[in-house]
Structure 1
Amino acid sequence: MTTENEGGSTTAHRQFHIGDVITVATGTLVSLRHIEAVYDLCGYMTGNDALFTHQLPRAARECEPALRAQHPALIAETIPPISTMEEASEFLAALYPKYGEYVTVAPLPPGEHELIDPIVEMLDALG
Protein backbone atom coordinates (compact mmCIF):
# COMPACT_ATOMS: atom_id res chain seq x y z
CA MET A 1 0.00 0.00 0.00
CA THR A 2 1.23 3.50 -0.80
CA THR A 3 0.10 7.05 -0.18
CA GLU A 4 0.63 10.00 -2.48
CA ASN A 5 2.23 12.99 -0.74
CA GLU A 6 1.56 16.67 -1.51
CA GLY A 7 4.48 16.77 -3.92
CA GLY A 8 3.11 13.81 -5.88
CA SER A 9 5.66 11.31 -4.58
CA THR A 10 4.47 8.09 -2.99
CA THR A 11 5.33 6.57 0.37
CA ALA A 12 5.10 2.85 0.99
CA HIS A 13 3.23 1.72 4.06
CA ARG A 14 4.64 -1.09 6.17
CA GLN A 15 3.22 -3.90 8.22
CA PHE A 16 4.00 -3.89 11.94
CA HIS A 17 3.09 -6.37 14.63
CA ILE A 18 0.16 -5.18 16.73
CA GLY A 19 2.33 -5.39 19.84
CA ASP A 20 4.75 -2.87 18.31
CA VAL A 21 1.90 -0.47 17.51
CA ILE A 22 0.31 -0.77 20.96
CA THR A 23 3.70 -0.26 22.63
CA VAL A 24 4.52 2.98 20.80
CA ALA A 25 0.98 4.38 21.01
CA THR A 26 0.43 3.66 24.71
CA GLY A 27 3.89 3.55 26.24
CA THR A 28 3.15 0.10 27.68
CA LEU A 29 5.71 -2.47 26.60
CA VAL A 30 3.80 -5.39 25.10
CA SER A 31 5.94 -5.81 21.99
CA LEU A 32 7.54 -9.21 21.65
CA ARG A 33 10.53 -7.41 20.12
CA HIS A 34 10.96 -5.18 23.18
CA ILE A 35 12.75 -1.86 22.58
CA GLU A 36 13.82 -2.91 19.07
CA ALA A 37 10.19 -2.45 18.04
CA VAL A 38 10.17 1.13 19.33
CA TYR A 39 13.31 1.97 17.35
CA ASP A 40 11.91 0.28 14.25
CA LEU A 41 8.40 1.75 14.28
CA CYS A 42 9.44 5.26 15.35
CA GLY A 43 12.30 5.26 12.84
CA TYR A 44 9.97 4.23 10.03
CA MET A 45 7.23 6.71 10.92
CA THR A 46 9.58 9.67 11.39
CA GLY A 47 11.80 8.82 8.44
CA ASN A 48 14.77 8.81 10.82
CA ASP A 49 16.13 5.29 11.12
CA ALA A 50 19.08 6.53 13.19
CA LEU A 51 17.22 7.70 16.30
CA PHE A 52 19.30 7.85 19.46
CA THR A 53 17.91 6.33 22.66
CA HIS A 54 17.22 9.72 24.23
CA GLN A 55 15.16 10.69 21.15
CA LEU A 56 12.75 7.75 21.42
CA PRO A 57 10.31 9.33 23.91
CA ARG A 58 9.87 12.42 21.73
CA ALA A 59 9.56 10.34 18.55
CA ALA A 60 6.95 8.11 20.22
CA ARG A 61 4.97 11.20 21.32
CA GLU A 62 5.05 12.44 17.72
CA CYS A 63 3.90 9.04 16.39
CA GLU A 64 1.17 8.40 18.95
CA PRO A 65 -1.58 10.61 17.44
CA ALA A 66 -1.05 9.13 13.98
CA LEU A 67 -1.14 5.57 15.35
CA ARG A 68 -4.33 6.36 17.28
CA ALA A 69 -5.89 7.80 14.12
CA GLN A 70 -4.81 4.84 11.98
CA HIS A 71 -5.84 2.13 14.46
CA PRO A 72 -8.27 3.63 17.01
CA ALA A 73 -9.97 0.38 18.05
CA LEU A 74 -6.67 -1.45 18.53
CA ILE A 75 -5.19 1.34 20.63
CA ALA A 76 -8.39 1.55 22.69
CA GLU A 77 -8.08 -2.06 23.85
CA THR A 78 -7.65 -2.37 27.59
CA ILE A 79 -4.17 -3.61 28.48
CA PRO A 80 -4.19 -5.84 31.54
CA PRO A 81 -1.35 -5.72 34.06
CA ILE A 82 1.57 -7.43 32.32
CA SER A 83 4.74 -8.44 34.13
CA THR A 84 6.15 -11.18 31.88
CA MET A 85 6.60 -11.72 28.17
CA GLU A 86 4.35 -14.78 28.48
CA GLU A 87 1.55 -12.50 29.69
CA ALA A 88 2.24 -10.10 26.83
CA SER A 89 2.09 -12.98 24.33
CA GLU A 90 -1.23 -14.16 25.77
CA PHE A 91 -2.68 -10.64 25.65
CA LEU A 92 -1.62 -10.18 22.01
CA ALA A 93 -2.79 -13.65 20.97
CA ALA A 94 -6.27 -12.80 22.27
CA LEU A 95 -6.32 -9.80 19.90
CA TYR A 96 -5.20 -11.66 16.75
CA PRO A 97 -8.68 -12.92 15.80
CA LYS A 98 -10.01 -9.35 15.86
CA TYR A 99 -7.08 -7.40 14.31
CA GLY A 100 -4.73 -9.96 12.83
CA GLU A 101 -1.12 -10.25 13.89
CA TYR A 102 0.09 -7.34 11.73
CA VAL A 103 -1.44 -4.00 10.75
CA THR A 104 -0.50 -1.50 8.10
CA VAL A 105 1.14 1.70 9.33
CA ALA A 106 1.67 4.87 7.33
CA PRO A 107 4.59 7.18 8.03
CA LEU A 108 4.05 10.59 9.57
CA PRO A 109 3.10 13.31 7.12
CA PRO A 110 5.85 15.81 6.28
CA GLY A 111 6.33 18.32 9.08
CA GLU A 112 4.95 16.07 11.84
CA HIS A 113 8.44 15.08 13.05
CA GLU A 114 10.87 17.69 14.28
CA LEU A 115 14.35 16.77 13.13
CA ILE A 116 16.77 17.72 15.92
CA ASP A 117 20.48 16.97 15.95
CA PRO A 118 20.87 14.19 18.56
CA ILE A 119 23.85 15.86 20.24
CA VAL A 120 22.08 19.22 20.48
CA GLU A 121 18.97 17.48 21.85
CA MET A 122 21.06 15.66 24.47
CA LEU A 123 22.77 18.87 25.54
CA ASP A 124 19.40 20.61 25.80
CA ALA A 125 18.09 17.78 27.97
CA LEU A 126 21.07 18.01 30.29
CA GLY A 127 20.52 21.73 30.71
Structure 2
Amino acid sequence: MTTKEFPTCDVLSTITGILMGPIGGVYEVLNFMTGEDVFTHQIPRISREATPVVLKMHPELEATITEAEQVTEDNYLTWLATWEERYGKSITVPQMTIAEHERIDPLSELAEKVSPDKIAVVSP
Protein backbone atom coordinates (compact mmCIF):
# COMPACT_ATOMS: atom_id res chain seq x y z
CA MET A 1 0.00 0.00 0.00
CA THR A 2 1.37 3.38 -1.00
CA THR A 3 0.87 6.13 1.59
CA LYS A 4 1.84 9.75 2.07
CA GLU A 5 1.72 12.25 4.95
CA PHE A 6 -0.26 15.44 4.62
CA PRO A 7 -0.95 18.31 7.03
CA THR A 8 -3.75 17.48 9.45
CA CYS A 9 -5.78 20.48 8.28
CA ASP A 10 -5.78 19.16 4.69
CA VAL A 11 -6.79 15.60 5.58
CA LEU A 12 -9.53 16.74 7.95
CA SER A 13 -10.81 19.27 5.38
CA THR A 14 -11.08 16.39 2.93
CA ILE A 15 -13.02 14.02 5.18
CA THR A 16 -15.19 16.52 7.09
CA GLY A 17 -16.12 18.85 4.23
CA ILE A 18 -15.13 21.82 6.41
CA LEU A 19 -12.24 23.80 4.97
CA MET A 20 -9.59 24.09 7.70
CA GLY A 21 -6.79 25.53 5.54
CA PRO A 22 -6.09 26.53 1.93
CA ILE A 23 -8.16 24.62 -0.65
CA GLY A 24 -4.95 23.59 -2.39
CA GLY A 25 -4.35 21.10 0.40
CA VAL A 26 -7.58 19.25 -0.40
CA TYR A 27 -6.50 19.02 -4.05
CA GLU A 28 -3.12 17.61 -2.97
CA VAL A 29 -4.70 14.95 -0.75
CA LEU A 30 -7.23 13.88 -3.38
CA ASN A 31 -4.74 14.02 -6.25
CA PHE A 32 -2.47 11.66 -4.33
CA MET A 33 -5.26 9.34 -3.21
CA THR A 34 -6.69 9.03 -6.74
CA GLY A 35 -3.54 9.31 -8.83
CA GLU A 36 -5.41 11.90 -10.91
CA ASP A 37 -5.63 15.65 -11.28
CA VAL A 38 -8.92 16.33 -9.50
CA PHE A 39 -11.12 19.12 -10.83
CA THR A 40 -13.08 21.41 -8.50
CA HIS A 41 -16.48 19.93 -9.35
CA GLN A 42 -15.14 16.44 -8.49
CA ILE A 43 -14.07 17.30 -4.93
CA PRO A 44 -17.39 16.49 -3.20
CA ARG A 45 -17.77 13.07 -4.87
CA ILE A 46 -14.16 12.03 -4.46
CA SER A 47 -14.10 13.25 -0.85
CA ARG A 48 -17.07 10.97 -0.17
CA GLU A 49 -15.06 8.09 -1.67
CA ALA A 50 -11.91 9.02 0.26
CA THR A 51 -13.53 9.37 3.68
CA PRO A 52 -14.09 5.65 4.39
CA VAL A 53 -10.61 4.87 3.06
CA VAL A 54 -9.01 7.35 5.46
CA LEU A 55 -11.22 6.20 8.34
CA LYS A 56 -10.30 2.57 7.70
CA MET A 57 -6.65 3.51 8.22
CA HIS A 58 -7.42 5.97 11.06
CA PRO A 59 -10.69 5.02 12.79
CA GLU A 60 -9.90 7.52 15.55
CA LEU A 61 -10.66 10.33 13.06
CA GLU A 62 -14.36 9.37 13.03
CA ALA A 63 -14.94 11.82 15.89
CA THR A 64 -13.84 14.76 13.74
CA ILE A 65 -16.77 14.28 11.37
CA THR A 66 -19.28 14.90 14.15
CA GLU A 67 -17.14 17.57 15.81
CA ALA A 68 -16.82 19.43 12.49
CA GLU A 69 -20.50 20.34 12.75
CA GLN A 70 -19.44 22.76 15.51
CA VAL A 71 -16.75 24.49 13.43
CA THR A 72 -17.42 28.10 12.47
CA GLU A 73 -15.47 30.88 10.84
CA ASP A 74 -14.77 32.23 14.31
CA ASN A 75 -13.58 29.03 16.02
CA TYR A 76 -11.95 26.95 13.27
CA LEU A 77 -8.42 27.76 14.48
CA THR A 78 -9.29 26.52 17.96
CA TRP A 79 -10.67 23.29 16.49
CA LEU A 80 -7.61 22.90 14.27
CA ALA A 81 -5.32 23.31 17.29
CA THR A 82 -7.39 20.74 19.21
CA TRP A 83 -7.20 18.24 16.36
CA GLU A 84 -3.47 18.82 15.78
CA GLU A 85 -2.84 18.25 19.48
CA ARG A 86 -4.93 15.08 19.36
CA TYR A 87 -3.74 13.61 16.03
CA GLY A 88 -0.44 15.37 15.33
CA LYS A 89 0.58 17.90 12.69
CA SER A 90 0.27 15.39 9.85
CA ILE A 91 -1.81 12.35 8.93
CA THR A 92 -0.82 9.56 6.57
CA VAL A 93 -3.32 8.60 3.88
CA PRO A 94 -3.30 5.70 1.40
CA GLN A 95 -3.82 5.73 -2.33
CA MET A 96 -7.26 4.44 -3.26
CA THR A 97 -7.73 1.23 -5.20
CA ILE A 98 -9.90 0.84 -8.27
CA ALA A 99 -12.57 -0.69 -6.01
CA GLU A 100 -12.54 2.43 -3.80
CA HIS A 101 -12.52 5.15 -6.48
CA GLU A 102 -14.55 5.49 -9.65
CA ARG A 103 -12.55 7.19 -12.37
CA ILE A 104 -14.80 9.52 -14.35
CA ASP A 105 -13.56 11.80 -17.12
CA PRO A 106 -13.70 15.31 -15.58
CA LEU A 107 -15.36 16.91 -18.60
CA SER A 108 -17.97 14.14 -18.86
CA GLU A 109 -18.72 14.54 -15.17
CA LEU A 110 -19.02 18.31 -15.57
CA ALA A 111 -21.38 17.84 -18.52
CA GLU A 112 -23.67 15.85 -16.20
CA LYS A 113 -23.87 18.87 -13.87
CA VAL A 114 -23.78 21.80 -16.30
CA SER A 115 -25.27 22.30 -19.75
CA PRO A 116 -22.58 21.37 -22.33
CA ASP A 117 -23.04 24.72 -24.08
CA LYS A 118 -21.67 26.40 -20.91
CA ILE A 119 -18.43 24.38 -20.97
CA ALA A 120 -15.44 25.88 -22.75
CA VAL A 121 -12.45 23.58 -23.24
CA VAL A 122 -9.18 25.44 -23.64
CA SER A 123 -6.19 23.58 -25.07
CA PRO A 124 -2.64 24.91 -24.85
| Superposition TM-score, scaled by structure 2 size | 0.78
Residue pairs, 1:14-93, within 5 angstroms: 14-30=4-20, 32-33=21-22, 35-48=23-36, 50-77=37-64, 78-79=67-68, 80-84=70-74, 87-93=75-81
**Pick aligned residue for 2:90 from 102, 108, 112:** 102
For 2:105 and 2:84, the matched residues in 1 are separated by 38
- Partner SS state of residue 15, structure 2: helix
| Superposition TM-score, scaled by structure 1 size | 0.77
Q: How many residues align?
A: 112
Kindly indicate whether the alpha-carbon contact (under 8 Å) linking 1:22 and 1:75 is maintained by their aligned counterparts in 2. no
Residues 115 and 89 (structure 1 numbering): CA distance in 2 closer, same or farther, change over 3 Å? same
For 2:39 and 2:83, the matched residues in 1 are separated by 31
* Between structures 1 and 2, the one with greater helix share: 2
Runs of 4+ in 1 over 4 A off after TM superposition: none
Using the aligned pairs only, state the percent identity: 35
Structure 2: which 5+ residue stretches go unaligned? 116-124
Query: 1 or 2 for the larger relative contact order (CA 8 Å, sep ≥6)?
Result: 2
For 1:97 and 1:123, the matched residues in 2 are separated by 42
- Partner SS state of residue 112, structure 2: helix
Kindly indicate whether the alpha-carbon contact (under 8 Å) linking 1:26 and 1:75 is maintained by their aligned counterparts in 2. no
Residue 63 (structure 1) shift: 0.6
